[in-house]
């Protein structure tokens, strides 16, 4: 909920300021009343949120648009935004000022509002796409320089990958498997976000998800996230069968512990995670196949769970993970049957 509300508040405040500045820059001095400044501020906030809502709609429903060449996408988006801003500006003029649309307003103000609306769409679209590309937490961390120097943090990590992706590539072809992976990653994203996780990276057929481990949030959300992903895939099973002839399944490993986080790269910056916790999580996920389990967790993660959890947890004993000298306690996790 917080992730949805925060950008709305920020954009509304930004729009209020832009509306006030628009009044100051373009209106005549005899119109500089408190009431008019308030109307312009509300006008600016409303138009900013309308631009934001339009962008979200096109991002969610405009798959056909994203498949077009970039220049076509930009032109179509601009036309759609211009039309919507024009309609909204006329409606707001009537509602806020209580009179019809005047010819003078059309000549002197209307097209300026459309221009400002389109200009507003540029930073909104840019920031949104940056967040989608590298993640909101990562973007903020880079801007603030939080990880310019390596930092040690307590993290929960989830490594989750598609089962039998190599076999699928042989039978379906690499392009179709990539389409399946794209759909798979898209479908599970809502479950990850809803449970407070952040996608750190997509690596081949694998997604790496992370949570801060010491935020005071309910610890069972880590496992709830995995089962929410399972439910999402089950809900979409008929769609996958119809389009790809197969329903994707996954294996997942989860572990908790200290991670060294650091910004790295020059031409392309990213936040990288280092340390034994990362290696153990990757090995746990790989061990799922040998153990015949869909979800394995470590003893360190188990200790974070509340004592009254309703998961079915089977101890697999001390396990020697491939490529690691020290053994760790591993556990298979499933949901309690209802």
Mean pLDDT, 10 residues at a time, the chain of 338 residues = 70 87 77 82 88 80 71 80 88 83 82 82 75 69 80 93 86 88 90 89 91 77 93 94 91 94 81 90 91 92 85 86 80 82
Which of 90, 229, 214, 110 is CA-nearest to residue 152?
214
pLDDT at 134: 63
Strand partners, 335: 311
In a domain, residue 144? The reply is no
Do residues 161 and 111 both lie within one domain? no
User: What are the two backbone dihedrals, phi and then psi, of residue 331, each rounded to the nearest 5 degrees?
Assistant: -140, 140
Q: Are strands 151-162 and 250-264 parallel, antiparallel or unpaired?
A: antiparallel
Which H or E run includes 143?
Answer: helix 136-144
Number of folded domains that form the chain: 2
Do residues 164 and 121 both lie within one domain? no
DSSP 71-100: HHHHHHHHHHHHHHHHHHHHHHHHHHHSS-
Do residues 160 and 304 both lie within one domain? yes
pLDDT at 3: 57
Do residues 118 and 262 both lie within one domain? no
User: What is each CA distance from 327 to 17, 68, 109, 324, in whole angstroms?
Assistant: 58, 51, 71, 7
pLDDT at 252: 95
Q: Domain span at residue 156?
A: 149-335
Q: Are strands 198-203 and 206-212 parallel, antiparallel or unpaired?
A: antiparallel
Do residues 303 and 156 both lie within one domain? yes
Which H or E run includes 221?
Answer: helix 221-235
- Token digits for 335? 């949901």
d(CA 242, CA 176): 13
- pTM of the full structure: 0.73
In a domain, residue 155? The reply is yes
Which of 41, 46, 48, 38 is CA-nearest to residue 17?
41
Do residues 16 and 121 both lie within one domain? yes
Strand partners, 191: none
pLDDT at 256: 93
pLDDT at 196: 87
pLDDT at 295: 94
d(CA 322, CA 327): 10
pLDDT at 332: 93
93-107 as b/e: b if 16+ CB within 10 A:
beebeeeeeeeebee
pLDDT at 253: 95
In a domain, residue 140? The reply is no
Do residues 158 and 107 both lie within one domain? no
Q: How many Cα atoms occupy the beta-carbon half-sphere of 22 within 13 Å?
A: 29
In a domain, residue 25? The reply is yes
């Amino acid at each position: 909920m917080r992730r949805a509300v925060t950008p709305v508040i920020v954009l509304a405040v930004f729009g209020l300021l832009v509306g006030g500045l628009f009044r100051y820059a373009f209106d005549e001095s005899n119109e500089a009343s408190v009431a008019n400044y308030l109307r312009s501020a509300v006008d600016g906030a409303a138009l900013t949120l309308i631009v934001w809502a339009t962008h979200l709609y096109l991002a969610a429903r405009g798959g056909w648009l994203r498949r077009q060449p970039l220049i076509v996408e930009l032109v179509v988006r601009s036309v759609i935004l211009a039309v919507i801003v024009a309609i909204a500006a006329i409606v707001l003029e009537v509602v806020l000022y209580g009179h019809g649309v005047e010819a003078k307003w059309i000549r002197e103000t209307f097209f300026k509002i459309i221009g400002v609306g389109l200009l507003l769409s540029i930073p909104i679209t840019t920031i949104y796409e940056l967040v989608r590309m590298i993640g909101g937490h990562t973007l903020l961390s880079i801007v603030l320089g939080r990880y310019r120097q390596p930092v040690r943090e307590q993290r929960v990590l989830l490594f989750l990958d598609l089962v039998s992706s190599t076999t699928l590539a042989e039978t379906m072809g690499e392009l179709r498997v990539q389409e399946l992976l794209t759909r798979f990653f898209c479908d599970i994203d809502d479950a990850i976000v809803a449970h407070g996780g952040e996608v750190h990276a997509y690596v081949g057929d694998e997604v790496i998800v992370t949570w801060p481990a010491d935020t005071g949030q309910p610890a069972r959300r880590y496992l709830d996230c995995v089962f929410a992903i399972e439910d999402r895939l089950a809900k979409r099973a008929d769609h996958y069968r119809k389009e790809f002839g197969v329903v994707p399944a996954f294996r997942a490993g989860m572990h908790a512990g200290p991670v060294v986080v650091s910004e790295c790269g020059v031409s392309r910056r990213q936040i990288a995670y280092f340390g034994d916790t990362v290696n153990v999580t990757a090995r746990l996920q790989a061990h799922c196949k040998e153990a015949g389990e869909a979800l394995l967790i470590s003893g360190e993660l188990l200790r974070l769970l509340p004592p009254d959890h309703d998961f079915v947890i089977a101890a697999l004993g001390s396990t020697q993970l491939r490529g690691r000298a020290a053994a760790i306690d591993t556990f298979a996790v499933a949901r309690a049957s209802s």
